[in-house]
Amino acid sequence: MKQFIIASAIALAVWACSGNNSSGNADNSNTPASASSGTAGYDTARGAGRFTNVTLSATLDKEKAAAGQKVYDVKCAACHKLTSEKLVGPGWEGVTQRHRPEWILNFTTNVDEMLQKDPKAQAMLEICLVRMPNQNLTDDEAFAVLEFMRQNDGVK
């Protein structure tokens, strides 16, 4: 019985980190900013950090995506797969559809504050049980990683 409970808990954790969402709306961008956060005025769609309004090109910057892949290979690949499968942290497949660019940039450059304030970041931490370390990405590296994420999600 104990083994069944442990196996069930592990299966639930893996499923929860897989990024599957039957409603197809993991971003919850229609939720008012203060409705799901304990911090008044906190914008859950953009997160905590200096990135407030990011406009991305409809097409991929291939040079920037290649630079982002190099950053991924060195700083991210040990914990994140490019599929929906969880490794240590959640898989990256579909991340650019689940989160706005501002949220991704703020999370990758301001991990500690995001984990303190952001309900989505806190939910991922509860599921994955491992706190993402601050990788000390520069803004250029963060934008390159975002572009690599977009490439991974099929932007051409």
Determine the pLDDT at residue 13: 45
The pLDDT tens digits of the residues spanning 13-27 come to 444 444 443 333 333
Determine the pLDDT at residue 4: 52
Q: Quote the radius of gyration of the chain (alpha carbons, Å).
A: 16
**CATH, domain 2-18+46-152, list 1.10.760.10, 3.30.70.260, 3.30.70.120, 3.30.465.10:** 1.10.760.10
Mention every residue, 6+ apart, whose C-beta is less than 8 A from residue 75: 135, 137
Give the domain ranges of the chain.
Answer: 2-18+46-152
**Predicted confidence (pLDDT) at residue 51 exceeds the cutoff of 90:** yes
| Contact between residue 67 and residue 150 where contact means Cβ atoms under 8 Å apart | no
Burial of 33 (0-12, 13-18, 19+ CB in 10 A): middle
pTM: 0.75
Mention every residue, 6+ apart, whose C-beta is less than 8 A from residue 136: none
Separation of alpha carbons 119 and 150, rounded Å? 23
Please report the DSSP string for 90-102 in residue order: ---TTHHHHS-HH
Mean pLDDT of 60-80: 98
* Token pair in block for residue 36: 């799901």
| Contact between residue 118 and residue 28 where contact means Cβ atoms under 8 Å apart | no
CA angle 154, 32, 17 (to 5 degrees): 45
* Per-residue pLDDT band at 132 (split at 50, 70, 90): very high
**Predicted confidence (pLDDT) at residue 68 exceeds the cutoff of 80:** yes
The pLDDT tens digits of the residues spanning 72-111 come to 999 999 999 999 999 999 999 999 999 999 999 999 999 9
